[in-house]
Amino acid sequence: MSVVTGIGLTPFGRLSGASTLDLMSRAAAEALADAGLERREVDGLITGYSTTHPHLMLSTVFAEHFGLRPAYAHAVQLGGATGFALVMLAHLLIEAGAARRILVVAGENRLSGQSRDAAIQTLAQVGHPTHEVPLGPTIPAYYGLVASRYAHEHGIADIAELAVLMRANAARTPGAHLTDPITAAMVGESKPIAAPLRLLDCCPVSDGGAAFVIERADSARPGPAIRGAAQAHTHQHVTAAPSLTAFGAGDSAARALRQARVGLADIRFAAIYDSFTITLAILLEEIGLAPRGAAGRLAREGHFSAGGAMPLNTHGGLLSYGHCGVGGAMAHLAETVRQMRGQAGPRQVPPPALALLHGDGGVLSSHVSLVLETSR
């Protein structure tokens, strides 16, 4: 069994002057300190990627920079799903006995390390090179297409409530990128980006870093246990998506829950990828945490609030804590661990025994689900 014994999370936002390696180092140092470990006590290293520091071997670039000589190391790339894919891999490596204690780390100066135009242009290249990119789509445009289908089938007015909730959560989280309160009306009146999505439906581009220590369970070193981990990959390009209303998230989450031998009804905390309001609505509904078309309404009714039945992204999510690339979703896991430990300060909920985490990469094309349980 694998447990999370250390978390490190930098503030997200504009962290001028900090490079990818600086942000990875800050997060890694914090995770090691949190786990009460020295560098030499880690034998495995898995990293994500950075668009501002592209390299064939980012893991060992980081190992040399930070001062690690791991027995096992490499990087992983799975778009927005990378953060949880790293955690799933660490879990599997621990279970397999390939490593005893793994440092998982990501960081990127995605905001200050390049112009906003460059960031948008880099991300837009995930489209198909001959059949999509020449048409000038952007990441918000792909999600705008998805959102148009959702609007057609369910109506879309309520999903702004998810942005409002994430902003309220971020206001109680030190280090959050965006903390000024917003209303659903402000979301609806914000600048059009890719219809029907507007500026406040989109997460910001941030600088930031995140890291975890994941190790073999040991009663002397307690931490939330990874009880289930599963993936689903249905396609790559939006043109090739089997559907824009049903994705692999439900399949992935159901398998992670089965592996953990628990049901959705046992889950007390949700940490779900929220690159756009539409992403969060679709994932909540696909996983079964909200009826189809009802995620926004449930948010308005308080169901997903810290005091509600299913606290969700209590740190503010990608929509307001911020999105620095691979580290973005890792903040969801850092927050989950804090809530399980009872260390979430003013946003603390009754410490959840079981949490479900879900990340997506591409345009809802790659899915990774995790089930965490407080060690008993």
Partner 1 sequence: MSAEIPDWTRGAEGLALARCRACGHVQYVRRPFCPECGSEDLGVERASGRGTVYAVTAVARAPSPDLQAFAPYGLALVDAPEGFRFMAHCPAEGVAIGAPVRTTFRAFGAGLVPFVTPEDQP
156 lies in the binding site for partner 1 (CB under 8 A) = no
Burial of 269 (0-12, 13-18, 19+ CB in 10 A): buried
* Residue 128 touching partner 1 (CB under 8 A): yes
* Minimum distance from residue 341 beta carbon to partner 1 (Å): 40
Which residues from 192-221 bind partner 1, rule CB under 8 A? 192-197
144 lines the binding site for partner 1 (CB under 8 A): yes
135 lies in the binding site for partner 1 (CB under 8 A)? yes
Q: Which is nearer to partner 1, 193 or 331 (CB)?
A: 193
Rounded to a whole number of angstroms, the CA Rg of the chain reads 19
Closer to partner 1 by CB, 221 or 237: give it: 237
292 interacts with partner 1 by CB under 8 A: no
118's CB contacts (< 8 A; 6+ apart) are none
Amino acid at 180: D
| Torsion, CA 298, CA 304, CA 305, CA 309, rounded to 10 | 100
- Residue 14 CB, shortest distance to partner 1, in Å, is 20
Could you give the angle at the alpha carbon of 295 between the alpha carbons of 289 and 300, nearest 5°?
Answer: 120
Please select the residue that binds partner 1; options are 140, 224, 311, 322, rule is CB under 8 A: 140
- For partner 1, which residue of 152, 155, 261, 350 counts as binding (CB under 8 A)? 152
Q: Is residue 107 near partner 1 by the rule CB under 8 A? A: no
Nearest to 157 by CA among 293, 336, 8, 342: 293
Q: Does 29 help bind partner 1 (rule: CB under 8 A)?
A: no
Q: How far is the CB of 84 from partner 1 (least distance, A)?
A: 27
**Structural contact between residues 375 and 3, judged by C-beta atoms closer than 8 angstroms:** yes
Residue 131 found at the interface with partner 1 (CB under 8 A): yes
Residue placing its CB nearer to partner 1 in the complex, 238 or 318: 238
Among 149, 221, 233, 300, binds partner 1 (CB under 8 A): 149
How many Cβ atoms from other residues are within 10 Å of residue 38's Cβ? 9
Q: Which stretch binds partner 1 (CB under 8 A): 85-93, 126-134, 204-212, 246-254?
A: 126-134
Asked if 137 touches partner 1 (CB under 8 A), the answer is yes
In the chain, helix, strand, coil percent, each to 5? Answer: 40, 20, 40
Comparing CB distances to partner 1, the nearer of 132 and 373 is 132
Token match 């006995």: residue?
97
Q: Pick the piece of the chain touching partner 1 (CB under 8 A) from 19-27, 99-107, 168-176, 233-241.
A: 233-241
Residue from the set 114, 148, 183, 375 that interacts with partner 1 by CB under 8 A: 148
Pair of tokens at residue 22: 């600086």
Nearer to partner 1, 232 or 244 (CB): 244
Stretch that binds partner 1, among 62-70, 128-136, 302-310, 341-349 (CB under 8 A): 128-136
Using the rule CB under 8 A, is 246 a contact of partner 1?
A: no
Q: 25, 23, 87: which is closest to 334 by C-alpha?
A: 87
Contacts of 234 (CB under 8 A, 6+ apart): 241, 242, 247, 248, 365
Shorter beta-carbon distance to partner 1: residue 115 or 343: 115
* 293 binds partner 1 per the rule CB under 8 A: no
**Residue 169 pairs with which residues in a beta bridge?**
none
- Whether omega for the bond prior to residue 196 falls within 30 degrees of 0, making it cis, is yes
Q: Report the distance separating Cα 85 and Cα 106, nearest Å.
A: 12
Q: Reduced to 3 states, what is the DSSP secondary structure of residue 269?
A: strand
Q: Does 239 bind partner 1 (CB under 8 A)?
A: yes
Nearer to partner 1, 9 or 278 (CB): 278
Which of 141, 225, 271, 354: binder of partner 1 (CB under 8 A)?
Answer: 141
- Cα 273 from Cα 255, distance rounded (Å): 18
Tokens coding 189: 């009146």
- Count of residues engaged in binding partner 1, rule: CB under 8 A: 34
Largest CA distance in the chain: 57
- Residue holding tokens 């135009």? 117
Binding site for partner 1 (CB under 8 A): 117, 120-121, 124, 128, 130-132, 134-138, 140-141, 144-149, 152, 191-197, 237-240, 244
